[in-house]
């Protein structure tokens, strides 16, 4: 079976199981960003069942991915589907308890949307200088204003805007629900 066929079959499984995955155009842009920035070590917080990891690995064969999932059933499915991808390491664990043993050039933050600021503040410590933090669903366009998540998302958007005034460069992919790229600025020696 060809890789595109495998990806399409895996995408269908995600849809059937109602596991959210990144939109196609966002994935294409992500591959482009990772490639242009020569990213070869990535941490993904929130495996789901591994679609993003498989997609990235199939388009960026030198990319090493550690992907973290707390749900045992999703983790088992991911392990099965990703068994032939030697550069993908599936980790069973909770994003609040997990302590990475290394730093990464890129971190995809796809944990609980109401806890984005807390997770960002934790995982930014595991990002290498000149690295990028990637966060999907920036806009959450389908959330109603009376929803608690709506207010949390507004707080998150304000937090991101403040980051742009500090030691980070911010890029926002406007397509879909939006993907934020938070680039750490190069370290300088005083």
Kindly report the CATH number assigned to the domain that includes residue 171: 3.40.50.150
pLDDT digit string, tens, across residues 64-119 = 999 999 999 999 999 999 999 999 999 999 999 999 999 999 999 987 778 899 99
Q: For residue 170, what is the enclosing H or E element?
A: strand 168-173
State which residues form the domain around 145: 3-184
> What are the strands, taking DSSP E only, across 25-157?
41-45, 64-69, 88-92, 104-109, 127-136
> Over 50: is that where the pLDDT of 132 sits?
yes
Q: What pLDDT score was predicted for residue 187?
A: 54
Question: Quick check: is 134 in a domain?
Answer: yes
Question: Quick check: is 158 in a domain?
Answer: yes
Strand order in the sheet with 127-136: 88-92, 64-69, 41-45, 104-109, 127-136, 179-184, 168-173
Question: Quick check: is 141 in a domain?
Answer: yes
- Domain count across the chain: 1
| CA–CA distance, 81 with 87 (Å, rounded to integer) | 13
Question: Quick check: is 190 in a domain?
Answer: no
What residues contact 145, with CB distance under 8 A and at least 6 apart? none
């Amino acid at each position: 079976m060809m890789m595109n066929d495998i990806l399409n079959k895996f995408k269908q499984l995600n849809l059937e199981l109602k596991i959210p995955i990144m939109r196609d155009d966002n994935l294409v842009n992500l591959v482009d960003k990772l490639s242009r920035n020569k990213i070869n070590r990535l941490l993904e917080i929130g495996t789901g069942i591994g679609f993003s990891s498989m997609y990235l690995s199939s388009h960026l064969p030198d990319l090493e991915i550690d992907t973290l999932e707390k749900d045992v059933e999703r983790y088992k499915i991911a392990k099965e589907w990703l068994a032939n991808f030697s550069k993908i390491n599936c980790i069973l664990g909770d994003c609040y308890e997990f302590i990475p043993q290394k730093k990464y050039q890129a971190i995809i933050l796809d944990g609980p949307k109401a806890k984005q600021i807390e997770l960002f503040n934790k995982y930014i410590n595991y990002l290498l200088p000149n690295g990028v933090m990637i966060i999907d669903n920036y806009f959450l366009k389908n959330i109603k204003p009376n929803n608690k998540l709506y207010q949390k998302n507004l707080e998150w958007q304000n937090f991101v805007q403040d980051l742009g005034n500090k030691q980070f460069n911010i890029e926002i992919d406007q397509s879909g629900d939006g993907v934020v790229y938070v680039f750490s600025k190069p370290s300088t020696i005083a």
